[in-house]
Amino acid sequence: MPSVTRKAQANRQERRERIERQLLDATDRLMAAGASFTELSVDRLATEAGISRASFYIYFEDKGHLLRRLTGQVFADLTDAAGTWWNVADRRDPADVLAAMTAIVATYRHHQPLLVALNEMAAYDPQVGTTYNEILSGIAERMAAVIEQGQRDGAIRRSLSAATTASTLTWMVERACQQNLPSRPASYDRELAATLTEIAWAALYLEPPIA
C-alpha cells in the first residue's frame, strides 16, 4: 500500500508540474501578444493552456498563487542557465561565464512580459514579493558556494565575502535584465551578456583563465 500511495503522489506531482509548464507557456504567449496579467482571466489562461477551469482550481487557489508558482518555474530555468558556468567553474574559463550569461539573458527575454508583471505585482502583493526575494536568495546561495570553492582553490579573491558578493552579482544581473531588456531589441542581448561577463569575471577572478 505505501508504494501505491507514493506512486499516486508522484503522478500527482508530475501532473502538477506539467500543468504549471503549460500555464507558464500560455501566460508567456498571451502577454507577448499584448495582454496584461491583471486582465487575464482564469478561463482564458486555462483555455490557452489546454486545461479545464476545474483543473486550474485543483492546483491553484487563484491567479496570485499561479504567479508565485510560475515564478519558481522561471527561476528554475534561470538556475539551469547559470549552471552552464557553475557546474564547470573549476575550469576558470570566461567562455563558460559568457555561455551562462547568454542563457540567462535569453531566459529573461523569453519570459520578459511575465517578469515585468511579477515585478509590478510584487510591489503590492506581499506573498509574491516574498516568493521573488526567496528565489533570488536561493540563486545567490548557489553562487556563494561556487565563490567559496573558488576561494579555496585560490582562483577567486579571498578578500571577498562570498555571500555578499553572490547577492550583489545576482541582483545586478536581475536588475540589468529587468531594466534594459523591455526597451531594447533582441540584438542588444549579446552586448548585455558580454558586459555582464566582463564585470563578473573582473570582480571575482585574480588571474586570466588557465589555458
Question: Residue 4: which pLDDT band, with cuts at 50, 70 and 90?
Answer: low
Q: What is the pTM of this model?
A: 0.82
Looking at per-residue pLDDT, the higher value among 14 and 12 belongs to 14
Indicate the residue among 18, 34, 60 that finishes a domain: 60
> Which of 5-19, 31-45, 111-125 is the most confident on average?
31-45
Contacts of 137 (CB under 8 A, 6+ apart): 167
Structural domain boundaries, residue 156: 63-211
Cα 126 to Cα 159: distance, rounded to the nearest angstrom: 36
Q: Is 114 exposed, middle or buried (0-12, 13-18, 19+ CB in 10 A)?
A: buried
Average pLDDT, the chain: 89
The count of domains in the chain is 2
The amino acid that residue 203 corresponds to is A
Sign of the four-CA dihedral 6, 7, 13, 17: positive
Q: Which of 77, 199, 204, 193 is nearest to 135 (CA)?
A: 77
User: If pLDDT is split at 50, 70 and 90, which confidence band does 20 have?
Assistant: confident
Residues 11 and 47 in one domain: yes
DSSP 8-state assignment for residue 209 = P
Examine the domain organization and report whether 93 and 189 are in the same domain. yes
17 or 94, higher pLDDT: 94
Q: Are residues 80 and 37 in the same domain?
A: no
Residues 56 and 86 placed together within one structural domain of the fold: no
- 123 and 108 inside one domain: yes
If asked whether residues 23 and 109 sit together in one domain, one would say: no
Residue 115: band (very low, low, confident or very high) from pLDDT cuts 50, 70, 90: confident
CATH code of the domain covering residue 70: 1.10.357.10
Q: Is the pLDDT of residue 110 over 60?
A: yes
Q: pLDDT per residue over 150-163, tens digit each?
A: 999 999 999 999 99
- Residue 51 and residue 80 in one domain: no
